[in-house]
Structures are given as C-alpha cells and as structure tokens.
Structure 1
Amino acid sequence: MSQTIQAFLGIILQAFPFLITGVLLSSLIGMFVSRRFIERYFPKNLAGGIVFALIGGFCLPVCDCVSIPVFRSLVKKGIPLTSAIVFMCASPVINPVVILSTYYAFGGNVRIVAARALLGIVCAVLTGLSFLIKKPHNPLKHGETESSCTCSCCEAGTDSHTEKPHAGAFNTLVHFLEHARREFFEVGSYLIIGAALSAAFQTLGGKLPLITGNTGKALSLFIMMSFAFLLSLCSSSDAVIGRTFIPRFSLGSVMGFLVFGPMMDIKNMLMLSSGFTKRFTLRLLISSFTVCYLVVLGAMLSGLEALL
C-alpha cells in the first residue's frame, strides 16, 4: 500500500503541471479564439482541408475533449467529413502542450516525441480517409443543436465569450477562471483514476510475466490501446501515465497508448454520441482503433523500438 501511494503521488505531481497548462490554454482559446474563424478559413477541398487540419491541430493547444465540439461545428458548416475527422484526431496528439509533456515525461527523448507526432499524423489522416469509403449520409443526429453538448469542456468550442466585445476586463477574468476551474476538476478526475490504476499496476506488475515476441507485441499493443480507451486520460498529461507502463510493456505498445488514447476514449464517445448518430460514432471508434493498431504494430515490427 505504501509503494502504491508513493507511486500515485509521484504520477500526480508530474502530471498536474501539464494538466493545468492545458486547461488554462484551452480556456484562453475558448474565450478569445472564435470558432467562426476556423470555420471561415477551413478549405473546402479534400487535400487543402487535410493540410489545414494538421496545421490547425498543431497550432491549437487543446485537449481531446475540446477538439470534439469544434469537430461537430465543422461538420455542421459543410467542411468535408474527412478533413474534420483529421482535425479531431490529430489536434490532441500533435499540439504544443502534448509535445512538451511527452518530452518531459520521457526525459527529453526527442525521438519518442517525433514518433508520437508522426504516428499520430499518419493515423489521423488514414482514419479520415477511411470515411471516403461509403460516406455516411448524415452523421449528425436529427435536430442536433450547438447546445446539445453538456460537457464543460465544450464551452471552449463556443463563441459565447468571443462575441462579447464590450464585456469588462473583470467579468472576462471571472469567466476565464470559472471555465478553467470546471474543466480542471472534470478532466482532473480522469487523471486521478488513471494515476491510481497505473500506480497499482506498477506495484503489482512485477508479478506479471513480460510479453515478448511478435505475438506478444500484438497482444501488448492491444492491451495498452484498450487501457487508453478505458482510462480516458487528458492528452496533456497522458504521457506521464504511459511512461509508467514501460517496465512491463514494450515501448512500441506504450506508443499505441499515446497515439490512440487522445483520439478516442470513453469520454470522447459520450461527447460524440450527444451530437452524432450511434452508427457514425461506432464506426469512428472501430476505424480509429483499427488504423492505430495496424499502423503502430507495423512500425513495431519494422524496428521502431530499436530507433527509439
């Protein structure tokens, strides 16, 4: 119990600075960067849309739960579904806060940071392109509105604050702090659960056999991606949690944890289901999991871990 508590506190102390940074930055974007700006300048053609989605995903320091309301808005405004999916999947993997937290969590290993970003880009683009095959007729729920999302993080995707140019500085500060507070406690709860499970795994993991060989790599990758889905960690702090699994899992499988987790997890599924049909949400889950699994496994079998 003592070892578990020490491991838990260590994970929390390392992850919280990046969680706070992500919350503050996403709140700033929610208040001062209008969603209309993104919608207005988002290219309508496929190739340009994918490039813009990747650039926007890199420039906007937002977590996965903030990218979803923006994704829903893009789909409503007629942005190609493929481009919108690329933005939603890529932004929580390649944005500056996630890059910084990954760099810190893995002791300044630039190769791991680059591998996560590159694998995230490849998986996001392939997931988006997969929807060119039998395009969904209308993925949005009938009568879905902008206010249908109840998650406090979704407020970062609205224009409620950016459309109040005459609001006083004090009121603006109050709104900013209130939004940051709600988002911190909501997202932080997932981090605490993930840290507790990770700490328990660290303590008890020594009794589990190592998973080796090509078959073991495939199994360990599947397990780690499943962990990512169930733990529902914030992408700004999941690297700290992911690193703790390395003693019992390969670095390649941990990379699958870091790539797939920000794209799709339980909380993201719930947020998507509020505005999209069940059929589309399920297809997006299966497509993203399959693409990430095949891409990361292929990289592992090609010698990714030796390069890292």
Structure 2
Amino acid sequence: MKIKIEIVMGFLGSGKTNFINSMLQQEELQNESIVVIQDEFGKCEIESDFNNHKSSKIIVIKNDEGKEIDVDYVKKIISEYNPNRIFIEVNGMKNSNNIINIFNEKSITKICRIDDIISIINIRKFPMYFRNMKSIVGTHIFNSETIILNNISKLEKNDFLDTLKEIKNINETANILKHVSIINENQEKEEDYLEIEKHSFVFNTLVYLIPLIFILTYFIIITTLNIDISSEYLDKFRKFNTMFISILIQGLPFILIGSFVSAIIQSCISRDKLMKLFPKNIFLSCIVAALAGILFPICDCGTIPVVRGLMKKKVPIAAGVTFMLASPIVNPIAIISTIYAFQGMKSVVIYRVFTGIIISISVGLIMQFFTKKDEEILKSSEDIIECNCGFCNEGYDYNKSKLEKVKSIFIHAADEFFNVGKFMIIGIFLSSIFQSILSLNNSSYIPNDNRSSLLFMIGLAFLLSVCSTSDAFIAKGFLKQFSINSVMGFLVVGPMLDVKNTIMLLGSFNKKFVLKLIFVIIIVSFGVLINCNLA
C-alpha cells in the first residue's frame, strides 16, 4: 500500500500541532508507523506516546536546521523509517505549492499519495493575515481539501459569516470544520472538529439557475402562445420577452467562452510568458492586441472577462483596451455575418474592420496616456473583482499537475461567469426595455444631416445592444433612412459600447476609468467616422 501523506498548513499559533495530536489519537491510526515532520515550532509539542496507542509507532522529526523539504528529503525519511503515514507540519510563511508539488513527482507518486491537505486558521487573526499576506493565505486555502477554523466562539456571528464567505470565495469545494472543546464523562477536556453546515457548489449554482430557467420558460410560453388579446401592454410585454431572450441566448455562450479564456490565462500562463506575446513597444503591442480577436472568436460580451484577466497579469492598459474594443469587430463570425448582410458591398466590410482597428488602437493609446502609472483601474470590491484562487499573484508556481490546473480552470471560469453574468443580465434587461419602447416609424425624429445622423446611429447602437455577430443584419435595414457613413457608426461603435457592456464595465472597472473610456470612444469614433468617404 502507498504511504498516506497528511499536509497540515497554517501560521504560527493557529493550532497545527494540537490538530496533529488529536489525529494521532484516532483509532484508525492504531498499529500504524507514523512520521511527523515539523517545519515550524510553537509552544505545543507532538505527543508521541499515547496510552491507548501503544501499538502505534510515532517518530517526530524536527526540521530545526532549516533544510529544504524536497523529494530527496522525503525519500530519505521513507527509506529510514518505512512509515505507513506521514504528517507534514508546514511552515506558514512558506509556499504550500512547493510541498504539494513534491508528491506530484513520478518517483514519489509510486510510493505515496496525499490523503488530505489541511489548512488550520485562527479565525480571529484571519482578517489581519489576509490583508497583509493575501497571496500566501489565498494559496494555502485554495490548495486545501479540509479547512479547520479555530477560536470561533470568540468571534461575533456577523464577523464569522463574513470570514466564512471570504474563505468560500477562495475555495468553494473544501470541507470546512470548526474546532470545539468538549468535556467528557470523566470531566476531561477533549478536542473535536465538527463540520460547518454548508451548501455545495451545485446547490449554489441551482439557486441561480432554477429561477432563471423558470423566468425564461415563462417568457417563452407567453411569447409563443397564440392568445387573441388586443391589449397594448401585452404586446409590449411580448416584445420585451422576445428581445430579452434573444439577446441573452446570443450573449451567454460568448460570456462562457470569455470566462474560460480568462481562466486559462490566469491558471496556465504566467505573467512573464504573457508579456512575451506583446512587444515592448506600446504601439506594436496594440496592433497585436487588435489582431488577437481573429484567433479568439469572442463577442463583445465575452471580451470583458478576458480583459480582466489580462489586466490582472499587468498587461499594458493600451493593449487590454485595444483587444476589448477590436476583438468583437475582427471576430471572424462578425466578419462573415457582415459579408452576408451587405452582399455586393465589400467596402462596408473593409471599412468596418479597418476603422474598428484604427479607433480601438487610438482609444487604447489615449487611455494609456491619460491613466496614471500606479492607478488602480480594476474595481476594488472583493465580491466582484478580487480573485483569490491562488493563481493571480506573482509568486505562484505554475508547475502544477494537469488535474489541478483543470480543476482551477473550471473554478475560475465559474467565478468569472457568475461575476460578469449578473451585470450582463442587468444590461440586457435595460436594453430590452429600450428596444421594446423605441420606434423608428415616425420619420420626423430622424435627423437629415450627416453629423446628426452619425450621432443618432451611435446612440441607437448603444441602446439596442445587439451582439456584434448579428448586428450587420439589423444595420442593413437602416440604409433606407441613413447614409452608409451613419450606418458605420452602428456597425463600429455598437460592438465597442452599449448598455449591457457599460453595466458590465461598471461592475469590473472603476467608475472614473469607465466614464473616461466612454468619452474617448465617442470622441475618437465620431472623429474617424465623420471623415470616412464611403459611397
């Protein structure tokens, strides 16, 4: 049988040694030869002699010389003591990835397997540690399969729930226990660890999905039923339902794709590797970012999660903004749909792509120039933007096993999807209201001059919030009322800026940055498109 490995992590004074002592007294460990490797020493000592465990052999090894625990160190311990189980008490200030990666080595996996990874947390000190050493704490928690919370009784209920939420944001799947002291029948104090009641990830997902599915089903039924009611309000409600469902169905797949792309960037690509993809010259990096959308067929909805991932990796603002604005336009699906919609008008397709790239690069460079070097543009709210998955810090070791990377990708993608998705739904809701109310039947509202028409079409694109992969078919319908130059405002600015995207941007970036970005997009787009001589 393989040797069972128990990795116990936590800061000094968190209760690691007490926990190991309680584990050593478990009946299931009787008759086992156990090695305890201590890489950190507090006030408590490992008790190697228990009255009810005389049949167990417990060897305590103190790494007081500060030797690096590596593959050779573990092999030497196994060769010398041949244990059934090894407890490793990890120094809280060390990167837990280094210890875990030892047991991913092929030579070690043949003889050992990780039985559990436990993180011990003094819940009273957690906010201080998390605030000052977020990357270390986040990595410990993310890697854990079991999390033990100490000193719960000394914490107010609201503070405890806030801390518990913080921990679950980092690791949704871990088994969370609380440490309690019990007085037995002999009036002796015993340590016990009780599971904290929790909802599974599946349950939490269903809480969001079931109401959404119910609402969508209701909308579909109401929309498709052939009820002879002449109520004007019912007609408007049906129109709203149709708009809401169609935009949602169009947008959700791209949000999902964008979330997975963002998760892959975070989990598998280090900042150094990512930066190598972008030239050091800011202008050239913008050109690369603008053309990157050809390789990533993502709608305008799905670019925001990707740009969030790029910003977390400290990619230049110019490149991130350029990708966000250009990607929906150079998207191959959007290009093909434009070709089909404007058959015989190849110039429209060419102008859309080239003006989109020019505007995107220009806006990106301007935002880079007008953003301070150390300015934090990502929203500071931890519920929205802070990813505590263990992959978003500079010290992360990317040499993880494929299984762990796949797990992290799915966890990260789910987090991105729900974080961005809720803002998308709000934006779609508002956009659907505008579309159901707005009517172009009255031609008196349609401006005649080129400048006013262009501004009108830009505003219309903002309100309608049509997906960039299908907006060309809607835009063609406006050729009877507007010039091609004005329609270009709908085709180019629409994918860059609309109601749902604005809501999503405000949920991910600081308000000041978003307002500045909107202003620059409108000014640059108007300046470029008004000078296009497209016949």
Bigger mean CA deviation after superposition, 252-261 or 230-239: 230-239
Cα distance, 1:238–1:121 mapped onto 2, change above 3 Å: same
| Amino acid in the other structure paired with 1:166 | L
Displacement after TM superposition at 1:226 (Å): 0.7
Task: Indicate if the aligned counterparts of 1:16 and 1:237 stay in contact, CA closer than 8 A.
Answer: no
Cα distance, 1:23–1:88 mapped onto 2, change above 3 Å: closer
Q: Which residue of 1 aligns with 2:443?
A: 208
Displacement after TM superposition at 1:33 (Å): 7.0
| Gap regions ≥5 residues in structure 2 | 1-231, 387-391, 393-399
Bigger mean CA deviation after superposition, 112-121 or 232-241: 232-241
Structure 2 residue corresponding to 1:66, chosen from 277, 302, 315: 302
Q: Which residue of 2 aligns with 1:155?
A: none
Cα distance, 1:246–1:44 mapped onto 2, change above 3 Å: same
SS in 2 for 1:64: coil
Pair 1:228-2:461 in alignment: yes
Q: Which residue of 1 aligns with 2:173?
A: none
Structure 2 residue corresponding to 1:56, chosen from 264, 268, 292: 292
Cα distance, 1:77–1:23 mapped onto 2, change above 3 Å: closer
| Amino acid in the other structure paired with 1:255 | M
Task: Indicate if the aligned counterparts of 2:435 and 2:463 stay in contact, CA closer than 8 A.
Answer: no
Structure 1 residue corresponding to 2:355, chosen from 119, 122, 130: 119
Q: Give, in whole Å, the separation in 2 of the partners of 1:42 and 1:76.
A: 15
Q: Which residue of 2 aligns with 1:93?
A: 329
Displacement after TM superposition at 1:224 (Å): 0.8
Displacement after TM superposition at 1:65 (Å): 1.9
| Gap regions ≥5 residues in structure 1 | 151-157
Higher relative contact order (CA 8 A, sep 6+): 1
Structure 1 residue corresponding to 2:367, chosen from 128, 131, 139: 131
SS in 2 for 1:102: helix
SS in 1 for 2:294: helix
SS in 1 for 2:314: coil
| Amino acid in the other structure paired with 2:403 | H
Displacement after TM superposition at 1:25 (Å): 6.1
SS in 2 for 1:247: coil
| Amino acid in the other structure paired with 1:88 | M
SS in 2 for 1:166: helix
Q: Which residue of 1 aligns with 2:492?
A: 259
Q: Give, in whole Å, the separation in 2 of the partners of 1:244 and 1:234.
A: 16
Give deviations 1:191-238, integer Å, cap 9, x for gaps.
89878976986xx6454149676xx11011111101111222221222
Task: Indicate if the aligned counterparts of 1:93 and 1:120 stay in contact, CA closer than 8 A.
Answer: yes
Q: Which residue of 2 aligns with 1:283?
A: 516
- Structure 2-normalised TM-score? 0.43
Give deviations 1:58-92, integer Å, cap 9, x for gaps.
22100112211222232232222112211111111
| Amino acid in the other structure paired with 1:105 | A
Aligned Cα RMSD in Å? 4.6
Task: Indicate if the aligned counterparts of 1:64 and 1:92 stay in contact, CA closer than 8 A.
Answer: yes
Cα distance, 1:244–1:200 mapped onto 2, change above 3 Å: farther
Displacement after TM superposition at 1:246 (Å): 2.1
Count of residues paired in the alignment: 290
Displacement after TM superposition at 1:240 (Å): 1.9
- Structure 1-normalised TM-score? 0.70
The percentage of aligned residue pairs carrying the same residue is 31
Structure 2 residue corresponding to 1:75, chosen from 297, 311, 315: 311
Pair 1:269-2:502 in alignment: yes
Q: Which residue of 2 aligns with 1:106?
A: 342
**1:126-205 alignment to 2 at 5 Å?**
126-140=362-376, 144=380, 148=384, 165-166=402-403, 205=440
| Amino acid in the other structure paired with 1:273 | L
Pair 1:296-2:529 in alignment: yes
| Amino acid in the other structure paired with 2:371 | K
From the CA coordinates, give the structure whose radius of gyration is larger: 2
Cα distance, 1:17–1:142 mapped onto 2, change above 3 Å: closer
